[in-house]
Structure 1
Amino acid sequence: MELDDLTLNVLYLAHDMADAAIRRRVLTLKAGGASVTVAGFERGANVLADERDVTTVSLGQTADGRFAQRIGAVLAARMRLKRTLADIAAPDVIIARNLETLALAGRAVSMFSRRIPVVYECLDIHRLLLDEGMKGRLMRQAQRFFGRRASLLITSSPAFVDNFFKPRSGLDLPVLLLENKVLALEPEPVSEPILPRPPEPGKPWRIGWFGAIRCRKSLDMLIDFAARMDGKVEIVLRGRPAYSEFDDFDATVAAAPHVEFHGAYRNPEDLAAIYGDVQFAWAIDFFEEGLNSSWLLPNRLYEGGLYGAVPIALAGTETGRFVGKRGIGLVRNHVTPQTLEALFGEMTEARYVNLFSRLAAVERCQWVTGPAECRALVSRLVAQRPVAGRNVGRFNRAIVRWSMVLRSHSNAQMSEIRTLLVIPCLNEAATIAPLLHKLNGQRGDTDMLIVVADGGSQDGTPDIVQDLIPEIRDLVLIGNRKRIQSAAINLAVDRFGEDRDFLIRIDAHGDYPDDYCRTLLQEAVEMDADSVVVGMETIGFGTFQKATAVAQNSKLGNGGSKHRAGGGGEWVDHGHHALMRISAFRAVGGYDESFSHNEDAELDFRLRADAFRIWMTGKTYMTYYPRSTASALFRQYLAYGRGRAKNLVKHRTIPKLRQAIPLAVAPVVVAALLALLYWWAAVPMVVWAAACIGYGFWLAVGQKNPYGPLASLSAMIMHFAWSAGFWLELIGIRPRRIA
């Protein structure tokens, strides 16, 4: 798809250009709108399955199992890289597949531009990276050294992240999880559904082992098992054997009864035929047992799932957990030729049909990567690119247009998203009913559970919500005994978040556009964001409230804060909380309930520390109504200051400049008391007050805003209260109750 004259140019550095996963990734990038050049090593023929419209550049020859030879090939490729890549266009992004090409990525960046981002793609954890000896330490140090330029990690299984990348790799990168799903670029065909295919009477059950065939233990086990079954089971092998892992693969298979090997196949073109030829898919791998093989989610799991081959998996592995959680296959605690013989000796057509039916009930999106996901990947890569100068508008427009296209393709998937919408409230009788009606009108075809967490309202708010439950579907009222918002959100997620994908947080004293929730969900899906934050438009009604709104919308009151200043369309450190992936929220432990205020900034710190990404959308916003009296405003900002101090102490951070300047206000005001002895002690306070008042009059005159002078008073209250709260918390003077 062409978007004006803009194309994202990707240089893909491949460890093995004959690897089917490389071809799939290249096709994914192309389908997403990228132009791809592949520079990689060759380990055999069939480079990219002979894709004719992809430019390929050979970096040299490597071989399976010959690690020293591969190191030499990488060093040689690095020395001649400038000459090798001389004729290709400068890329916008470099993707390096595996450590050996990551070692070349930095060299490639220096050739073209030091601003080109590097994405590290690692879909297997090599056993040397997991070695506990000197070799392993050197490998991990090399990965850490060459990965210092990377800005994103792509991997295929959450277990890789949990067991290696987070605890052991030394890399601190945002993670993009791209499962090994089947690439399906054509619309789903309108045809008869896949049906169970039990063998005809007298015919054997057929088990397929397809893809990368590298597990000697699996081969020996399946050969023994097939011999024991004496024609009641046949084993079908297809794919690329790792010949270095076997003594004589071809001779061994040829001599084995009831075992067939049919060679390589095209992925995804041949998948329907080869999986349609078997009833079961072997999804067990003992290669690097207990390590990589225990953590991966293999291609054959998704391929077999899509085409109705019931998976056979090993308990205690990530594949076993995947299959067991969904109840879609055979998960065995121990697998031997004897246990397989017992299992298939009792296999009946009825049991097989039951297993098949459970597998067939899984939605297709679990198994496939479609055009929408391809565009989402390319959009994520565009977001990695540093954009400056005259290209800003063009790239931003391209992202927006990709998003529009993606939205049209993802509408059908919106109904599959399960959302938990939480409204913490306390004495919100005036606003809760219209707010709930508005949110109910936004649900459309999405699965949305609305939870009102009441903190002990005395104005009838719970009664209003209770009366609306028969009228508004999936509306729940719960009590929040701790009263604060952070506790309300945590409670709702604990009770109702188990089977939900996203959390949307709603402030009961705010207002929202009619498409607020849907826009948040679309942004989360399109940008692959873990959190989506919004800007705030502050509006007042009474005189003081209007003046406070003017102050909070100005740099005098917000210090240039992006979510107050109306920013949008960028990755940020913090913003007004709107949406979060529940998995990310739970991964960092939810809100810290010791924070009555500033809990959002504290949570954002932990999200960023764990490599989760926060996207500030410019496509929607919330309307906020400020406090209507000076005393209420003072108490609010006093609590904000305390929260900021607690945040800095907890995480040992340094205030930003826009925070450090207001921090001086309370000490300056206190120091002004010394003016009774030394007149000059009042000068700093006078300068601050004059600056605030002057800014207010500038708003009145320059911006023609009649509330400007009074806004300066609101700003001074906010400055002083925030500063006072900060210092009171820091020196340990705490309130007896929560403000």
Structure 2
Amino acid sequence: MSDKARDIDPERVVVLIPTLNEAAQIEAVLCDLIQDDPVASRCPVIVADGGSDDDTCAIVSKLAERFDNLRLIHNPGKTQAAAMNLLLQPEFDGFDIAVRCDAHAAYPSGYVSGLVHCLVEKDVASVVVPMDAIADSGECFQRGLVWVADSKLGAGGSPHRGGTASGYYDHGHHAAFRMSSFRALGGYDVGFRANEDAEYDMRLICRGDRIWLNADLRIGYFPRRSARRLWKQYWNYGVGRAQTCLKHKVRPGLRQLIPAIHTGLVLLSLLALPVTRVFLLWPLFYGTIILCVGLQIAWRHRSACGLMASLALATMHLAWGMGFLSRLVQGRPSAQMPAQTEKTP
């Protein structure tokens, strides 16, 4: 560890956790983050709640009696982007480093300290981490999804989804930020309900800053437990990616084009049914591939839940593709979209 890392003042670090109905996980998340962490046990840890109607706020308030650095605040914007942008308010001007954590995750011991030290030692604007999908229930769908989520068919080879190599990347799962860069960029664009992190990273890279992916600081991610919730999540991901492409006038990468093209071919097949069935060859080919994947996973894990991997793949691909295409058809963002430099009041 460098001398600069040893000299970090925890009082100039802030941890922020956006929440909305996270009663099932919030206590474990906070305990994992704060306990035995030399930075997180001394710096402000803030839960920004977007209006939970379960016991999330009550649990956090109770834990605040145990951890005197824990604080609960209200996030009127509800989204994760709006929650993080609360750090742009004047009361946080004295902080140099921000750590973003999510409630749908499991964190290793010393996570916050490790991020802060890495940010300082690498002298970068942002540190991102890989996510490993893990099940937090006995739901068969979630187990099948976990077994396929981080594969190339599931995540498209994204380095922060199960990746094992540290290095400089253009994007990853957001973890630690230099507040100087975050302020200079105006934080997240609150017009994004999803993909706000990738859009921020694009602006960060264009500014000349660097992002380091630390593959040694891995978090466990709890994916959705049903196809319906997964569909909504990936629809929003597709919409967010299209928003980013439209806002910055950039073409999507090959990894994003594949599900969009696949979805277009599926829709074309359905539209062409009254005329010809030739186009059904693609859905049949695709269906055969993902069915074989499900069978292979079921055999490997000796569990029929592996067959749910086929449904999970179809849901992710089609939902992302339809969200992306639907937003692309709408065209560039309207004038009502909040500007990237807008601060939450």
TM-score, scaled to structure 1: 0.43
Over the matched positions of the two proteins, sequence identity in percent amounts to 38
Does structure 2 retain, via aligned residues, the 8 Å contact 1:696–1:709?
yes
Amino acid at match of 2:12: R
The whole-number CA distance in structure 1 between the counterparts of 2:201 and 2:254 is 19
Aligned pair partner of 2:69 in 445, 455, 474: 474
**For residue 485 of structure 1, what is the amino acid of its counterpart?**
Q
Task: State the AA in 1 paired with 2:126.
Answer: S
Q: Which residue does 2:23 correspond to in 1?
A: 429
Change (3 A) 1:445 1:615: closer
Contact 2:12 2:96 in 1 (8 A): yes
SS at structure 2 position matched to 1:687: helix
Structure 1 counterpart of 2:30, one-letter code: L
Aligned to 1:488: 83
Cα 1:602–1:550 shift into 2, 3 Å: same
Question: Does residue 1:606 correspond to 2:203, yes or no?
Answer: yes
- Counterpart amino acid of 2:294? G
The match for 2:216 is 619
* Pairing of 1:51-450 with structure 2 (within 5 A): 406-407=1-2, 409-410=3-4, 412-415=6-9, 418-444=12-38, 447-450=42-45
Q: What is the letter of the counterpart of residue 297 of structure 2?
A: L
- Which residue number corresponds to residue 309 of structure 2? 711
Task: Write the deviation string for residues 492-520 of structure 1: whole angstroms up to 9, x where unpaired.
Answer: 34254311111100101211001111111
State how far apart, in whole Å, the 2-side matches of 1:445 and 1:572 are.
26
Specify the alignment match of 2:343 in structure 1: none
Q: Distance in 1 between matches of 2:97 and 2:87?
A: 12
Deviations 1:177-214 (A, max 9, x none): xxxxxxxxxxxxxxxxxxxxxxxxxxxxxxxxxxxxxx
* Partner of residue 459, structure 1: 54
Residues 506-521 of structure 1 aligned to structure 2 (within 5 Å): 506-521=101-116
Q: Does 1:721 align with 2:319?
A: yes
CA distance in 2, matches of 1:411, 1:671: 56
CA contact (8 A) 2:18 2:50 kept: yes
| Contact 1:519–1:619 (CA under 8 A) maintained in structure 2 | no
**1:488 and 1:414 mapped to 2: Cα distance?**
25
Task: Find the aligned partners of 2:107 and 2:83 in 1 and give their Cα distance.
Answer: 20
- Once residues 581 and 680 of structure 1 are traced to their aligned partners in structure 2, the CA distance between those partners, rounded to angstroms, is 54
In the alignment, does 2:98 pair up with 1:503?
yes
1:730 and 2:328 are equivalent in the alignment: yes
User: Are 1:638 and 2:232 matched, yes or no?
Assistant: no
| Partner AA of 1:699 in structure 2 | I
Q: Which residue number in structure 2 is paired with residue 346 of structure 1?
A: none
Task: Give, in angstroms, the shift of residue 437 of structure 1.
Answer: 2.1
CA distance in 2: counterparts of 1:511 and 1:565, whole angstroms: 14
Say if 2:175 is the partner of 1:569: no
CA contact (8 A) 1:534 1:617 kept: yes
Is the 8 Å Cα contact of residues 13 and 98 (structure 2) preserved in structure 1?
Answer: yes
* Structure 2: runs of 5 or more not aligned: 332-345
1:666 aligns with 2:260: no
Letter in 1 for 2:278: W
Selected match of 1:530 from 110, 115, 125:
125
Q: What TM-score does the superposition give when structure 2 sets the normalisation length?
A: 0.90
Tell me what 2:334 maps to.
none
Q: Which has the higher contact order (CA 8 A, sep 6+)?
A: 2
- Where 2:16 maps in the other structure, the secondary structure is strand
Deviations 1:369-403 (A, max 9, x none): xxxxxxxxxxxxxxxxxxxxxxxxxxxxxxxxxxx
Q: Is the 8 A contact 1:511 1:623 kept in 2?
A: yes
Q: Cα deviation per residue 1:7-26 (whole Å; 9 max; x = unaligned)?
A: xxxxxxxxxxxxxxxxxxxx
CA 1:547/1:591 → structure 2, altered by over 3 Å: closer, same or farther? same
Instruction: State the Cα deviation string for residues 57-91 of structure 1 (Å, max 9, x = none).
Output: xxxxxxxxxxxxxxxxxxxxxxxxxxxxxxxxxxx
How big is the shift at 1:712? Answer: 1.7
Q: Kindly state the Cα deviation for residue 467 of structure 1 after the two structures are TM-superposed.
A: 2.2
Superposed CA deviations along residues 415-436 of structure 1, whole A, max 9, x for unmatched, are 4662110000000112112222
Aligned-residue RMSD, C-alpha: 1.9
CA contact (8 A) 1:637 1:725 kept: yes
Q: Which has the higher strand share?
A: 1
Aligned length: 327
In 2, Cα distance between equivalents of 1:417 and 1:520: 15
CA pair 445-477 structure 1, distance change in 2 beyond 3 A: closer
Q: Quick one: distance in 2 between partners of 1:691 and 1:550?
A: 16
State the distance in 1 between where 2:324 and 2:39 align: 45
**8 A Cα contact 2:143 2:306, kept in partner:** no
Task: Give distance in 2, aligned partners of 1:631 and 1:693.
Answer: 19
Native 8 Å contact 1:419 1:449 kept in 2:
yes
Q: Relative to structure 1, is the Cα distance of residues 437 and 681 closer, same or farther in structure 2, using a 3 angstrom cutoff? A: same
Moved more, 669-678 or 721-730: 669-678
**Runs of 4+ more than 6 Å apart:** none
Rg larger in structure:
1
Contact 1:497–1:582 at 8 Å: present in 2 too?
no
Counterpart code for 1:509: H
State the Cα distance separating 1:677 from its structure 2 match: 2.3
Q: Distance in 2 between matches of 1:656 and 1:705?
A: 36
Distance 1:432 1:453 in 2: 12
CA distance in 1, matches of 2:62, 2:95: 26
- Shift of the alpha carbon at 1:694? 2.2
Kindly tell me: are residues 663 and 433 of structure 1, through their superposed partners in 2, closer, same or farther at Cα, counting changes over 3 Å?
Answer: same
Whole-angstrom CA distance in 1 between matches of 2:57 and 2:68:
17
Q: Is the 8 A contact 2:5 2:120 kept in 1?
A: no
- Residues 543 and 412 of structure 1: is their aligned pair in 2 closer, same or farther, counting only changes over 3 Å? same
Contact 1:570/1:617 (CA < 8 Å) preserved in 2?
yes
Is 1:687 aligned to residue 279 of structure 2?
A: no
